[in-house]
Amino acid sequence: MSAAGQELVVRVDRTRCVGTGACTWTAPEDLELGPDGRARPLRPVSDDRPGLTEAAEMCPVEAITVLSAASGEVVAPL
Amino acid sequence: MTVEHGETSSAQPLIPLHCLRHAEPGPPRLTALPNGTPVWLATRHADVRQVLTDPRLDRATLFAPDAPPTSTGPNLLDDPEGLLNIDGPEHQRLRRTVQRAFTPRAIARWRPWVETVIEELIDDLEAAGSPVDVVAGLTRSLPIAVISRLMDLDGVDLQRLGHWSDHALSTSAYPAEQVRQAMREFYAFSEQLIADRRKNPGDDLVSSLLLAAAETEGVTEGQLTAMVCGLVVAGHETTMTSFGNALVQLLSEAPEAWARIAVDLADATAASEQILRAIPLSDATALPGLLRRAVADLEIGGVAIAAGSVVAADIRTANHDPEVYPAIGPLDHFAPLGTPSLTFGAGPHHCLGAWLARMELELGLHRLANRLPGLRLAGPLEEISWREGLLTRSPASLLVAW
């Protein structure tokens, strides 16, 4: 996999999000709680695969999806 | 307003939870807890959500020395070392020790086993013959079987666990000293279980909690003890309450929904979400909602709330907010929910066991309706005996026939 292939995009389903904030502790450079108490991405692409994978897997309402920026494939949760 | 112990056979029959009327949601208003402590009551969906997610509101300062009294009497939820009463980074660290076991995927792995348990319990109901008590036979037995398996409580006296759980969530059902005694025994049990699992770890939830805690800085023995008690109680009480009250509603007024739940698991899933939203777990007589305390001045729904104020999130009213859930006619079990209900809360203290509860409820309803499509209540609603004086209310027993 090339370096560009390591780039990830995180998406938050803001309807599902119940604002537990767990993801903002796991991946603080990529996710924050907005003023409406819902999580939102902080940057267009990220390389924090461990942090984002854990954020997606641990989200109690499965509101987080992590995709490969290059292929659009789902990286987490799997 | 609190229900006194022994009122089960009171002249005035209690209204089933699904028949309770709901207040019109409005801006936060100042009211009082039963003990007189002033409290801001949030009722609109957006306001309740803010109360539960806004970091300027917390749980820990409800137990600070300067806090006004909010306790309904001794109970597990008021333990300052409980997960519910810890906030911020410390809470995130502690919650992570158990979170992994409760993710949707982790819970889904239990699904086939839970189905087997349900089938066996329904076998026993059928063998006992009509009419039968579906609370003893299924709605109480299922959650106990599941949490016992998850925590590997084989060989533990489940009746004692049930006794402790009831006391741990008592508001007025038992005298305070009796509750304190039960809690002491419960905590001693928890401490012993923790000591045993440290010596002989297994693949159960207590062992994995202890392993994760050992790698986490600052987790105290008191926090672990309260957590183990909390897992037992949560596993016992809330799913039983929801399942029992769901059956009261479905069997008394929704035969068409029952028929659909029997046939299609997806319909059972949808119905579970609507039931969880629409049928409250309690009368809200002891507490008007989930309590928080403002740690800074803030505004909720256009109303200024001063630092130090106690705020209650009225989930029951918010779950019927017509702005979010247009209410036309009787409950439509199969309407897509859109916005998630607030039944499991929101924010950092969102219910850890939400997916487990959902799975037990949807599979339990689906399999019961499938196996016994002609199921009906064997007696009138007015004669249901309720579990009273606890933080939740549900049938103590429910005779069903087919």
pLDDT at B327 over 80: no
Asked if this assembly's ipTM is beyond 0.95, the reply is no
B99 in A contact zone (CB under 8 Å)? yes
Q: Report the residue from A19, A25, A57 with minimal CB separation from B347.
A: A19
**Chosen from A25, A53, A64 to mutate, greatest number of chain B CBs within 10 A:** A25
Count of the separate structural domains present in chain B: 1
Q: Which amino acid, residue B146?
A: V
Full strand arrangement of the beta sheet holding B399-401: B132-133, B399-401, B376-377
Contact B105 A16 (CB under 8 A): no
Q: Does A18 touch chain B (CB under 8 A)?
A: yes
* Chain B touched by A60 (CB under 8 Å): yes
Indicate yes or no: CB of A19 within 8 angstroms of CB of B96: no
B97 touching chain A per CB within 8 A: no
Nearest by CB: A18 against B50, B100, B340 = B340
Question: What CATH code is assigned to A4-76?
Answer: 3.30.70.20
Residue B329, SS3 per DSSP: coil
Is B291 among the domain residues? yes
What value does the mean pLDDT of chain B take? 93
Residue B343 reports pLDDT greater than 90: yes
Which tokens in the block code for residue B89?
Answer: 């980074």
β-pair type (B132-133, B298-300): unpaired
Least Cα separation, residue A24 to chain B (angstroms): 10
Count of CB pairs separated by less than 8 Å, A with B: 59
Q: How far apart are CA A28 and CA A52, in angstroms?
A: 9
Q: What is the pLDDT of residue B158?
A: 87
**Domain extent for B138:** 17-401
Question: Does A2 lie at the interface with B, CB-CB under 8 angstroms?
Answer: no
Residue B139 near residue B400 (C-beta atoms within 8 A): no
Exposure class string for B130-161: b at 16+ Cβ within 10 A, else e: eebbbbebbbbbbbbbbbbbbbbbeeeebeeb
- Beta-bridge mates of residue A31: A41
User: What residue segments make up the domains of chain A, in order of their start?
Assistant: 4-76
Q: CB–CB of B333/B93 below 8 Å?
A: no
The reply to whether B8 falls in a domain is no
With a cut of 90, say whether residue B18 has pLDDT above it: yes
Rounded-to-integer distance, Cα B260 and Cα B244, Å: 19
Task: Give B332's pLDDT tier (boundaries 50, 70, 90).
Answer: very high
Q: Is the Cβ pair B346, A33 closer than 8 Å?
A: no
CA dist., res. B235 & res. B126, Å (int): 25
**Phi and psi at residue B76, in whole multiples of 5°?**
-60, -35
Residue B188: both structure tokens together: 């001693």
Token look-up 């801001």 returns B40
Which residue among A20, A33, A57 places its CB closest to the CB of B350?
A20
The answer to whether B305 contacts chain A (CB < 8 Å) is no
What confidence tier does B338 reach under pLDDT thresholds 50, 70, 90? confident
- The residue type at B303: V
Token readout for B360 is 């037990």
- Contact (CB, 8 A) for A53 and A76: yes
Chain B environment of A60 (Cβ under 8 Å): 99, 102-103, 350, 352, 354-355
Give residue-wise pLDDT tens across range B36-88. 999 999 999 999 999 999 999 999 999 999 999 998 888 999 999 999 999 99
Instruction: Give the pLDDT score at B104.
Output: 87
The CATH number of residue B72's host domain is: 1.10.630.10
CA distance A67 to B131: 54
φ/ψ region of B239 (left if φ > 0, alpha if ψ in -120 to 50, else beta) reads alpha
Beta bridge partners of B2: none
Q: Identity (one letter) of the amino acid at B98?
A: V
Give CA separation, B231 vs B106, B212, B274, in Å.
16, 16, 25
CB contact under 8 A, B340 and A58: no
Interchain CB distance below 8 Å, A18 and B102:
no
How many Å lie between the alpha carbon of B11 and the closest alpha carbon of chain A?
42
Residue B4 counted as domain residue: no
Of A19, A25, A60, the CB nearest to B92: A25
Decide: helix, strand or coil at residue B388.
coil
pLDDT at B6: 41
pLDDT band at A2 (very low <50, low <70, confident <90, very high): very low
Interchain contact B346–A (C-beta under 8 A)? yes
Q: Does B354 touch chain A (CB under 8 A)?
A: yes
Which helix (H) or strand (E) segment holds residue A39: the answer is strand A39-41
Task: Give the nearest partner residue to A58 out of B89, B99, B350, using CB atoms.
Answer: B99
Q: How far is B299 from chain A (nearest CA, A)?
A: 12
A37: contact with B, CB 8 A cutoff: yes
Distances (CA, A) of B325 to B43, B53, B82, B210, B256: 14, 20, 33, 41, 22
Name every chain A residue with its beta carbon within 8 A of the beta carbon of B339: 15
Q: Give the separation between CA B172 and CA B179, rounded to whole angstroms.
A: 10
Which of A15, A17, A20 to mutate: most B Cβ within 10 Å?
A: A20
Q: What confidence tier does B380 reach under pLDDT thresholds 50, 70, 90?
A: very high
Which of these, B294, B300, B341, B337, lies nearest to B317 by C-alpha position?
B341
Position B254, amino acid: A
Amino acid at B209: L
In tens, the pLDDT along A15-62 reads 889 999 889 989 999 999 998 889 999 999 999 999 999 999 889 888
